[in-house]
Amino acid sequence: SRARKARLWPQGRRAADYLESILEKDGMVPASISHEGYSAKPMHSYWDGFWTLRGFKDAAWICAELGDPASARHFAALRDRFRADLLTSLRATMERGRIAWLPGCAELADFDATSTTVALLPGGELPFLPRPALEATFGEFWRQFQERRKGGAPEDRYTPYETRIIGACAHLGWPDRARDLLAAYLEDRRPLAWNQWPEVVQRGLRSPVFLGDLPHAWVGSDYIRSLLALLVLEREEAGALELGAGVPEAWFRSGFSLAGLRVPGGELGDSARAEGARVTYVLSGTAPCPPGGILLRWPLAGAFRRARIDGKVMEGLSGTSVTLRRIPATVVMEQ
């Protein structure tokens, strides 16, 4: 609510001003060990960079919501400048390290797909990042994941922060990989009956190894955020919501439904089912349609040829998604 934003913004403003004050001359935030992988020596971590960018984006938005256009312009300019510097640093590190994927930090040009996820969720930077580098990053993670599941990887333990990558697959339009990751991580809950994860998972159930925090609430929240991303994504730059971006075809075939899902402005309900070459969505709820609409994904191979909204044939509408401008609504897509 606006009242809650107004109550909390003074503290948020001080945090945003502090972030601005510590930016280095090259536009980066200082080296740190907030990413625990760099605890031996502070690094200029892109994990820190994307969290900082998220903060500047939110500061600009909150100021606009609270009717402070001057501050909104200030933080929007800071956001744009910091994003440009961050992308410049990423490109330079990739060139210096001769790598195709997005690096974890500027000094090492290291591979760290798990921390790179923050650029997509909650960072919302998909439209600004080079698509080939994103696909190389998460494609290499997928290769390593498969090797580990087959027992061919040199390291047989991992941190289940990796559940974040389920959401990254939703952003990239890889629903089948998202499904396989989800199933694998659910199998690796420790102990399984506790329905949670420790900080470190080892393949050997009885191996005397470090487990870290157990249960690990951050891992749990990563899982929840990723699961929600399969069902509904906020396409921030388009001002749109996308439904079913990470839902595999098998789920559509069996049918699924959501109720009371919290989205900006209210609640959203959705049921969807695929029968033959037809997909039906039924949407309800109190939430208004966002400015960019609600995108409904065609989950089957190829594209749909015809679409009806509330029984009315939509002339000339075909492809791989339908943009809805109002709810409630029933949408039928057919090949």
What does 283-312 look like in DSSP terms, one character per residue? EEESPPPPTT-EEEE--SSS-BSEEEETTE
| pLDDT computed for residue 317 by the predictor | 82
Residue ranges of the chain with per-residue pLDDT less than 50: none
Q: How far is CA 169 from CA 2, 124, 177, 252, 258, in A?
A: 33, 14, 7, 17, 20
| pLDDT computed for residue 207 by the predictor | 79
Rg, Å, the chain Cα set: 21
* Joined tokens for residue 329: 């609504």
Q: Comparing C-alpha atoms, which of 145, 126, 146 is closest to residue 135?
A: 126
DSSP string of 131-154, one letter each residue: HHHHHHHHHHHHHHHHHHHHT-SS
For domain 238-334, give the CATH number. Answer: 2.60.40
| pLDDT computed for residue 203 by the predictor | 80
| pLDDT computed for residue 32 by the predictor | 94
What is d(CA 166, CA 246) in angstroms, rounded to the nearest whole number? 8
* Joined tokens for residue 160: 């289940």
What is d(CA 159, CA 327) in angstroms, rounded to the nearest whole number? 40
Q: How far is CA 113 from CA 104, 106, 218, 233, 335, in A?
A: 8, 15, 17, 20, 37
For the beta carbon of residue 229, count every other beta carbon within 10 angstroms: 24
Which of 148-163 are b and which e, b meaning 16 or more Cβ less than 10 Å from the residue's Cβ? beeeeeeeeebbbbbb
| pLDDT computed for residue 154 by the predictor | 67
